[in-house]
Structure 1
Amino acid sequence: MPAEDDRQDDHRARQSVVEAARSLSGLGLNQGTSGNVSLRWKDGLLITPSGMPYERMRAEDIVFMGLDGRFEHRLKPSSEWRFHRDILANRSEVGAVVHAHPVYCTAFAMCGREIPAVHYMIAAAGGPTVRCAPYAPYGTPELSSLALAALEDRACCLLANHGMISTGESLEKALWLAGELETLCRQYAVALQVGAPVVLPDDEIARIVERFKNYGLNAKPGPDNAS
């Protein structure tokens, strides 16, 4: 690929991370400088810098990091770079990672509660629960290890007393899933106030997981592509 084309591709990839980060607030998933976004890129990842307001962030501020954790940039990567790197290094199907502190996800995380199959949309997480990883301080190897365990066979999880992580083949898919998870947590919170939510059986969720392979952002024309 010519050098100019390579630079343009790099700029577009960095700009897509900026736009994804900025969209978190608009989607009601984040506030301030909390949260972070990464994208698999070449032999490493592009990740939002630490402590920079999203409205000030530019493509050149996005940090490239190798899967060995090394980077060369005037800015430091997000303090949560470790679990972004470890997820991308261990999950070849994942192309992007979103971490945020949305209100309802974080409320359940503060209670250390997993989300059961109270709605079929939980199948978007890849199984009958959204697990809540035990607490560990932010930015630590311990937190990364706990997050990886909570994400086993899942596309998203909660982090105790912290927030949530969503993953996807693309930034679009990871952002979509973050929004779906926050909606599910909000619905579950309201249902708990109404009464005792009914939990769907595991075999039903397994069937929905299979149907979701042709749903939403994965959709192809066909009868199963319906909400």
Structure 2
Amino acid sequence: MSGTYRERMKELGISEEVVQQVLAVAKRMDDKGLVNSFAGNISAKVDGKIYITPTGQNKGLLTPEKIAVVNQDGERIFGMKETSEIIMHSMAYEICEENGWDVGGVVHSHSRVLTAFSMAGLDVETTALPEMMGNFHKIPCAPYGAPGTKFIMTMAEPYFAEGYRIVLLGNHGSLAVGRTVEEAMNVVEACESIAEQILITKYILGGEASLDVDEIARFFDIYKENRSGRVK
């Protein structure tokens, strides 16, 4: 980044560290094939400012001066034009904050398997995989809401209010939240892998070997305990 951009960022109170965090997640998503130039977006929120990927840009080729920074009034003060999904990201932060979450990162992905589940309108759930039950319970699929509008989050709000860290957006991929943007990315990466395993087991192999009732209850209790640390 040139000195001019650094000076401008300093004047505006923009964190170069947060910009780099968004860039690192964007590249990681691109490297893993979890996003493309026309779909998916990433943001971090620090000190009231939202740092978010720009519209229509290849996530693997982003540079610091391209990351949009939007202030508390919704005005872009730095970078390229922000993604049209800024409404969804802003509402995700507001919903989580209202419910006592410590959320500083949001990742919207169009990864292959999670998006396929969202297109089918199916929750991702299992009674055979402890890691899924204990960490996520399930990945619920919210009804469709038009991209670029508030209705996406209107449909997804009840699930985030309940404490889910990732929700499928009907016909529109997934949305994950975390204390940092890296943590939100970790959720997407883990859930894409889990969704693939469930797809193979339940829908290709034709069924899964469920754990017994007591074990299922135990892992769901673990999930509830983990959730209690997020939602007040």
| TM-score of the two chains, using structure 2 as the length reference | 0.80
**Contact (CA 8 Å) 2:107, 2:176: kept in 1 or not?**
yes
Percentage of identical aligned residues = 25
Residues 172 and 143 (structure 1 numbering): CA distance in 2 closer, same or farther, change over 3 Å? same
**Alpha-carbon distance between aligned partners in 2 of 1:63 and 1:195, rounded to the nearest angstrom:** 45
1:118-155 C-alpha deviation (Å, 9 max, x unpaired): 32222323xx2211011111011111211222323110
Instruction: For 1:88, give the aligned amino acid.
Output: Y
Task: State whether structure 2 residue 111 is matched by structure 1 residue 102.
Answer: yes
Of 192, 197, 205 in structure 2, the residue corresponding to residue 194 of structure 1 is 205
Equivalence for 1:45? 50
**Contact (CA 8 Å) 1:17, 1:46: kept in 2 or not?**
yes
Give 3-state SS (helix, strand or coil) of 2:74's partner.
coil
Equivalence for 1:185? 195
Give 3-state SS (helix, strand or coil) of 1:207's partner.
helix
**Alpha-carbon distance between aligned partners in 2 of 1:189 and 1:64, rounded to the nearest angstrom:** 38
Instruction: For 1:100, give the aligned amino acid.
Output: S
Q: Count matched residues.
A: 208
Give 3-state SS (helix, strand or coil) of 1:115's partner.
coil
Residues 68 and 205 (structure 1 numbering): CA distance in 2 closer, same or farther, change over 3 Å? farther
Equivalence for 1:217? none
**Contact (CA 8 Å) 2:71, 2:77: kept in 1 or not?**
no
Extract unaligned runs of 5+ from structure 2.
1-5, 228-232
Instruction: For 2:155, give the aligned amino acid.
Output: L
Equivalence for 1:204? 218
Instruction: For 1:209, give the aligned amino acid.
Output: Y
Extract unaligned runs of 5+ from structure 1.
214-227
Of 83, 87, 93 in structure 1, the residue corresponding to residue 88 of structure 2 is 83
Residues 178 and 83 (structure 1 numbering): CA distance in 2 closer, same or farther, change over 3 Å? same
1:160-209 C-alpha deviation (Å, 9 max, x unpaired): 11101111111221111101110111011101221223556663233332
Deviation at residue 21 of structure 1 after TM alignment: 0.9
| TM-score of the two chains, using structure 1 as the length reference | 0.82
